[in-house]
A and B are shown apart, each in its own frame.
Chain A
Amino acid sequence: MNPALWVDVVLAVMLVGLAVAVLRARELFVSIMLFVAWGLLLALAWARLSAPDVALAEAALGAGLTGALLLGAARALGGTSTKGDAP
């Protein structure tokens, strides 16, 4: 197998794994941090799909700004920083 395919496979597996981790994390703060990491990986995935425009937008908006907004929102929620009905 060629190395480029390996990179893609690792990227895809990490994306799905991180997505599950975002949903399963107990604390909102941890979820948001994982979400930002997931957004950066997704930007890499877009770059691998030769869509640099989308990759730029995903890195700046999806990972950076959404992460900052989510952090602000989580802090505004105050004490209820653990998810309500997590299993």
Chain B
Amino acid sequence: MMRLHRVILALLLAAFGWLLARAFVSLPASPPHLADAVTAQMDQSGVTHPLTAVLLNFRGYDTLLEIGVLLLAGLAALAVSGSATTTPRAELLDRPAVLLGLVRVLMPVLVVVAFYILWIGSYRPGGAFQAGSILGAGGVLLVLAGVVDGARVRLALRMILGFGFLVFLLVSATVMAGGRALLEYPVPYAGLLILLIECAATLSIGAILTLLFLGVVAKEEAS
């Protein structure tokens, strides 16, 4: 049985390797110069950092779907993690003082850094995903330190879970109502709309990542 397992695995890996090799060989010899096209359109995008322009404007559709996929992952984690128990208040006060002090110092810094990363995303490396993951790291820290009440935090996270996706969809629907294509922002408002979407997405990404971790922890306590 084990041998058959390994043979099938080897065959699958070989097939995958062959596909990769074929894709590599079939690459055009000179790469298409998409960077030039992006640079030419930069003043239409509402931001000055090319990566943010591509992610949130020129290829906004991909990012919309990415946030949708993350939302699905968060929902799946919610579904399998079961119900969280409420920690008694006395137990919350019984945490190591050094850990609590560290959390108290670190959390505001993490929040400020996250929103700084979000803000500079329009003209430098940064943006919603990085900012969201920093928020998520803060959430993980809170869960690890045990200072948050599982059930209540879960409800709060659930409220902002789909917020980013919702705002993204609303923006795309609103610009379509004005007779434009999906996610074709009106140029004067492009920067504002991108910032709006990124703010909502940052909150949601942070919530989803925290929920993923909370799911693992809850599972462990239940078993």
Which chain A residues in 54-79 approach chain B with CB under 8 Å? 56-57, 60-61, 64-65, 68-69, 72-73, 75-76, 78
- The closest CB in chain B to the CB of A64 belongs to B137
Is A53 a contact of B126 with CB atoms below 8 Å? Answer: yes
A69-B212 contact given A53-B51, A64-B137, A76-B223, CB 8 Å threshold: yes
Distance, CA A60 to CA B212, complexed state (A) = 15
- B2 on interface, CB distance cutoff 8 Å: yes
Distance, CA A69 to CA B2, complexed state (A) = 29
The prevalent SS among residues of A at the interface is helix
- A17 on interface, CB distance cutoff 8 Å: no
Is A57 a contact of B213 with CB atoms below 8 Å? Answer: no
Distance, CA A53 to CA B209, complexed state (A) = 19
The number of chain A residues with a CB under 8 A from chain B is: 16
Is B133 a contact of A68 with CB atoms below 8 Å? Answer: no
A73-B216 contact given A56-B125, A68-B140, CB 8 Å threshold: yes
What is the CB-to-nearest-CB distance from A50 to chain B, in angstroms, rounded to a whole number?
Answer: 10
What is the CB-to-nearest-CB distance from A71 to chain B, in angstroms, rounded to a whole number?
Answer: 8
A65-B130 contact given A56-B125, A60-B137, CB 8 Å threshold: no
What is the CB-to-nearest-CB distance from A9 to chain B, in angstroms, rounded to a whole number?
Answer: 23
On chain B, the residues within 8 Å of A85 by CB distance are 2
- B217 on interface, CB distance cutoff 8 Å: yes
A65-B125 contact given A76-B219, A76-B223, CB 8 Å threshold: no
What is the CB-to-nearest-CB distance from B78 to chain A, in angstroms, rounded to a whole number?
Answer: 15
Is B213 a contact of A60 with CB atoms below 8 Å? Answer: no
Is A76 a contact of B220 with CB atoms below 8 Å? Answer: yes
Give which listed residue, B125, B134, B212, contacts A52 with CB less than 8 A.
B125
Interface string of B199-215 (1 = CB under 8 A from A): 00000000001001100
The residues of A with any CB-CB pair to B shorter than 8 Å are: 52-53, 56-57, 60-61, 64-65, 68-69, 72-73, 75-76, 78, 85
The residues of B with any CB-CB pair to A shorter than 8 Å are: 2, 51, 117, 125-127, 129-130, 133-134, 136-137, 140, 144, 209, 212-213, 216-217, 219-220, 223
Subset of 24 A-B contacts with CB under 8 Å: A53-B51, A53-B126, A56-B117, A56-B125, A56-B126, A56-B130, A57-B129, A57-B130, A60-B130, A60-B133, A60-B134, A61-B129, A65-B136, A65-B140, A65-B212, A68-B144, A68-B213, A69-B212, A69-B216, A72-B216, A72-B217, A73-B216, A76-B220, A76-B223
